[in-house]
Amino acid sequence: MIARARPLARAAVAGAMLAGALAAAACTAAPAPGTAIAEAQPAKKRGPPPPTRLVSVGGVRYEAVVWGRRRGMDQNGGYVAATDQKTGQELWVTKVYATPHDPDMEDDKQDLFIARLDLIENGKALRVTDERGGRYRLDLATRTVTRP
């Protein structure tokens, strides 16, 4: 009878250990969305702006302005700058698109940066593509922007 009690005791101990492990796991599980604990955790910041290659034509380099607010502009993305390649002097900056901001949301999550610049029409215009796939045409002579 003593030999028979050991397997039962082992099973009882194993069952108690399993129950304890399950209870511990339940205590460390992530809170349900919308609970006070989940809302108190900091939200993830957006990633860095995409790298945009520079394009050049006729001795002028065109590039996306990434941190426009640091330069006194009204938004971070959506600007193209033209720079003289020989002197390094900035010739002009043009706003390609506006990014509306909701005051109740974090600013950095609302920034919309230029993802790609392509010369089109034999170097007379730029096709500007934003991070969400929006496309714009920037006439390099007049600096007017249209949506194709």
Provide DSSP, 94-120: EE-------TTS-HHHH---EEEEEEE
Q: What confidence category does residue 48 fall into, taking pLDDT thresholds of 50, 70 and 90? A: confident
Q: What band does 49 get if pLDDT is binned at 50, 70 and 90?
A: confident
**Quick one: pLDDT at residue 126?**
98
Q: What percent of the chain has pLDDT over 70?
A: 68
Please name the helix (run of DSSP H) or strand (run of DSSP E) that holds residue 85, with its range, or none: none
> For 13-24, what is each residue's pLDDT tens digit?
555 555 555 455
Phi, psi of 30 (to 5 degrees): -65, 140
pTM of the model: 0.67
Instruction: Determine the pLDDT at residue 4.
Output: 53
Ramachandran region, residue 78 (left: φ > 0; alpha: ψ -120 to 50; beta: rest): left
pLDDT of 128 > 60? The answer is yes
* Residue 106 confidence class, pLDDT cut points 50, 70, 90: confident
Pair of tokens at residue 107: 């600013």
Strands 114-120 and 125-130: antiparallel
Cα 35 from Cα 56, distance rounded (Å):
52
Residue 104 φ then ψ, to 5°: -90, 0
